Amino acid sequence: MKEVVVLSGKGGTGKTSIVGSFAALAQSKVLADCDVDAADLHLLLEPVIRQRQEFWSGQVAAIDESKCTQCGLCQELCRFKAIRDFKVDRISCEGCGFCYHICPAEAITMKENLSGHWFISDTKYGSLVHARLGIAQENSGKLVAVVRQQAKAIAEKRKLDYIISDGPPGIGCPVISSLSGANLALLVTEPTLSGIHDLERVLGVCHHFNVPALVCINKYDINEENSRQIEIYCHSQGANVAAMIPFDNVFTEAMVHGVPVAEYTQNSVARQLKRLWQTIVSKLGD
Amino acid sequence: MIISVASGKGGTGKTLVATSLALSLKDRERVQLLDCDVEEPNAHIFLKPVLNSREPVCIPVPKVDEGKCSYCGKCAEVCAYNAIAVLPDRVLVFAELCHGCGACSYLCSEKAIAEEMRETGLVESGYADGVKFAHGKLSIGEPMPTPVIRKVKEQANHDGTVIIDVSPGTSCPVVESIKGSNFCILVTEPTPFGLNDLVLAVETVRELGIPCGIVLNRAGVGDNKVEEYCRKENIPILLTIPLDTEIARLYSRGVTLVQGMPQWRGSFLSLFERIQEIASERSRSLKR
């Protein structure tokens, strides 16, 4: 069983449309949506939820007013400025529990925090593990880890060949959690200076965690000079450009119809995506 | 006034809006742009600031003096992040898991734990053509953007207008960036993904009690469900930018919209005026 994660650094380069297409093209796989704070893959796959679980993670401090002597020690020591006027700001609290340990009046308790939900769904393309982080919640990286564990368990149980993960934008905690230990990263970029800048950083993260990477340049014809620069750069970093996909409104049309682009059209974009998936399969077989 | 520019979905045009808004305002008042997308900062590509100050962002992490340590295990017990493990004859510190709360050091009965600074990113600041500028950069491989975001926000002017460019998503880095704003612009596109993530972003700004309005980018693609949603939820659409290959080309070369197509400046000034009206109405109603 092999795991490929699709990342980009910059958001909006086409990760989810590409993963949705792989869902339609690949055999013997489970899908994982690791973008837990703005998940979109379900919009292409019509999932029917079979299992829904609460995700409890981290803690938040609570002050019992009847016990609090207003000595102020907690406010003085909290480094996250989460306690003001002897009240806890739930959004600023990082759940470290320092206040709970030092309160001389034992007025502070740590309460478990419901941070979100995760789901196992059936789709016509196979199982999908996805999640929804609660509004303004932390611990997205831990929820990503749960999504990956569940996907892996399904793949092992059903002896599936692939886990295909749709990753979040950025390079921080949920990205690291999506990437570490995966067999391959597909980095989707676009030929804009922002896209190139962000690709360099996410490729740096792949190197840092020793995950080999392939690159896909989406909308390559928006700026062909920049696309050439990306090819040269990727070559110098040992990451091959595996596909160059032209700008095509068919991506948006497919999204509006709620189907993967590779299923919505048979045009050259669909053929490119098919070749890209074959390249990934052969790279995973190395 | 602090205006943050967020989106939910990535790649909808936050940086395009933030940079063009800043440049449109600079002849009228003091304006500052803070790029709080510290994982993938891009505003500098467009504003090309002269950066004259660099400051590291550090988290205080425990440094155990094993000469004093009695291996009692208290530090590991109080650490909520599993960043310290105490073995019978050794203490292991996993610095990248540490949030720097300071509990272990304070609660150590042997006073065996000091703190040392671990760099996780940096903040650079300077000027770009009349706009005061600062951005943060999370170091490659580091998981926690929020300390870097906090440090960028410390640079905020106390008068004039501060524009904050925010990362995509709805979780902790977004909350840290938009907290304390007087207004939040949500940039979206008229597609199912744009709408899905806009709804989450609206829930987030409402949770924080910040008034918001929409910039609809790439209008003409997709469908009209974003407009329907905004009508139903009574969220104003403050500016509409059409799908235009010329705008996309300018963006690809790192040219701001108002520099490449100066006719847009008036639209950004009207955007700002509407935000001022909404924000001052909000503060009047809060006082009442």
> What is the Cα–Cα distance from B153 to B125, expressed in whole angstroms?
11
Q: Do A133 and B170 touch (CB under 8 A)?
A: yes
Nearest to B36 by CA among B151, B197, B184, B182: B151
> What is the Cα–Cα distance from B59 to B101, expressed in whole angstroms?
9
Same domain, A37 and A176: yes
**Are the beta carbons of B261 and B51 closer than 8 angstroms?**
no
> What is the Cα–Cα distance from A219 to A55, expressed in whole angstroms?
37
Report yes or no: B117 at the A interface, CB cutoff 8 Å.
no
Would you tell me which residues 133-192 of chain B have a C-beta closer than 8 angstroms to some C-beta of chain A?
Answer: 138, 140-145, 167-175, 179, 191-192
Q: pLDDT tens across A156-202, in order?
A: 999 999 999 999 999 999 999 999 999 999 999 999 999 999 999 99
DSSP E strand boundaries for A79-181: 83-84, 87-88, 108-123, 126-133, 162-166
Confidence of residue A262 (pLDDT cuts 50, 70, 90): very high
Q: Do B170 and A191 touch (CB under 8 A)?
A: no
Would you tell me which residues 48-87 of chain A have a C-beta closer than 8 angstroms to some C-beta of chain B?
Answer: 58-59, 77, 79-80
**Are the beta carbons of A266 and A25 closer than 8 angstroms?**
no
Same domain, A166 and A197: yes
> What is the Cα–Cα distance from A124 to B105, expressed in whole angstroms?
54
Q: pLDDT tens across A40-76, in order?
A: 999 999 999 999 999 999 899 999 999 999 999 999 9
The pair phi, psi for residue B273, each rounded to 5°, is: -65, -40
Q: Give the one of B168, B196, B249 whose C-beta lies nearest to A222's C-beta.
A: B249
Same domain, A132 and A105: no
Same domain, A101 and A217: no
Q: How far is CA A4 from CA A28, A54, A154, B142, B148, in A?
A: 13, 26, 15, 21, 30
| Domains B2-48+129-287 and B61-119 are alike in CATH topology | no
Q: Give the one of A10, A36, A135 whose C-beta lies nearest to B207's C-beta.
A: A135
Report yes or no: A233 at the B interface, CB cutoff 8 Å.
no
Confidence of residue A138 (pLDDT cuts 50, 70, 90): confident
Same domain, A39 and A69: no
Q: In angstroms, what separates the C-alpha of A122 from chain B's closest C-alpha?
A: 20
Sign of CA dihedral A74, A141, B34, B10: negative
| A chain contacts of residue B167, beta-carbon cutoff 8 Å | 169-170
Q: Do B40 and A91 touch (CB under 8 A)?
A: no
Same domain, A94 and A225: no
Interface test mutation site (partner A, options B252, B256, B257, max chain A beta carbons within 10 A): B252
Same domain, A185 and A72: no
Residue A32, in any domain of the structure:
yes
Residue A52, in any domain of the structure:
no
Mean pLDDT of A278-284: 97
Class of domain B2-48+129-287: alpha beta
Same domain, A169 and A244: yes
CATH of the domain at A203: 3.40.50.300
Report yes or no: A144 at the B interface, CB cutoff 8 Å.
no
End-of-domain residue from the set A74, A91, A114: A114
Report yes or no: A3 at the B interface, CB cutoff 8 Å.
no
Q: Do A249 and B171 touch (CB under 8 A)?
A: no
Confidence of residue A135 (pLDDT cuts 50, 70, 90): confident
pLDDT value of residue B55: 97
| A chain contacts of residue B200, beta-carbon cutoff 8 Å | 37-38, 135
**Are the beta carbons of B9 and B215 closer than 8 angstroms?**
no
- Token readout for A175 is 């990205």
Q: Give the one of A58, A171, A256 whose C-beta lies nearest to B39's C-beta.
A: A171
Q: What range defines the domain where residue A26 resides?
A: 2-46+124-285
At residue B179, the 3 state secondary structure works out as: coil
CATH of the domain at A71: 3.30.70.20
pLDDT value of residue B162: 98
Max intra-chain CA distance, chain B = 71
Residue A119, in any domain of the structure:
no
**Percentage of chain A lying above the pLDDT 90 cut:** 96
Report yes or no: B246 at the A interface, CB cutoff 8 Å.
no
End-of-domain residue from the set A95, A114, A133: A114
Same domain, A140 and A234: yes
Residue A53, in any domain of the structure:
no
Per-residue three-class SS string for B94-139: CHHHCCCCCHHHHHCCCCCEEEEEEEEEEEEEEEECCEEEEEEEEC
Same domain, A138 and A251: yes
ipTM of the complex: 0.95
| A chain contacts of residue B99, beta-carbon cutoff 8 Å | 94, 96
At residue A266, the 3 state secondary structure works out as: coil
Residue A51, in any domain of the structure:
no
pLDDT value of residue B288: 77
Mean pLDDT of A254-276: 96
Q: Do B223 and A256 touch (CB under 8 A)?
A: yes
**Is the pTM value of this prediction over 0.80?**
yes
Would you tell me which residues 220-239 of chain B have a C-beta closer than 8 angstroms to some C-beta of chain A?
Answer: 221-223
Same domain, A138 and A211: yes
**Average pLDDT, whole number, for chain A?**
96
Would you tell me which residues 255-284 of chain B have a C-beta closer than 8 angstroms to some C-beta of chain A?
Answer: none
Q: Do B81 and A96 touch (CB under 8 A)?
A: yes
Say whether pLDDT at A286 is over 80.
no
Nearest to B146 by CA among A138, A202, A112, A62: A138
Amino acid at A148: R
Quick one: fold of B61-119? Alpha-Beta Plaits (3.30.70)
Q: How many CA atoms lie within 13 A of A272 on its CB side?
A: 19
pLDDT value of residue A102: 97
pLDDT in tens, chain B (288 residues): 999 999 999 999 999 999 999 999 999 999 999 999 999 999 999 999 999 999 999 999 999 999 999 999 999 999 999 999 999 999 999 999 999 999 999 999 999 999 999 999 999 999 998 999 999 999 999 999 999 999 999 999 988 999 999 999 999 999 999 999 999 999 999 999 999 999 999 999 999 999 999 999 999 989 999 999 999 999 999 999 999 999 999 999 999 999 999 999 999 999 999 999 999 988 888 887
Report yes or no: A260 at the B interface, CB cutoff 8 Å.
no
Confidence of residue A136 (pLDDT cuts 50, 70, 90): confident
Q: Into how many domains does chain A fold?
A: 2
Say whether pLDDT at A139 is over 80.
no
| A chain contacts of residue B254, beta-carbon cutoff 8 Å | 192-194
Amino acid at B87: L
pLDDT value of residue A1: 95
Minimum Cα–Cα distance from B193: chain A residue: A40
Give the H/E segment covering residue A4: strand A2-7
**Are the beta carbons of B214 and B188 closer than 8 angstroms?**
yes
- Token readout for B140 is 């490659």
pLDDT value of residue A142: 94
> What is the Cα–Cα distance from A250 to A64, expressed in whole angstroms?
57
Say whether pLDDT at A215 is over 90.
yes
> What is the Cα–Cα distance from A62 to B11, expressed in whole angstroms?
38
Residue A174, in any domain of the structure:
yes
| B chain contacts of residue A226, beta-carbon cutoff 8 Å | 252-253
Minimum Cα–Cα distance from B8: chain A residue: A38
The pair phi, psi for residue B49, each rounded to 5°, is: -70, 155
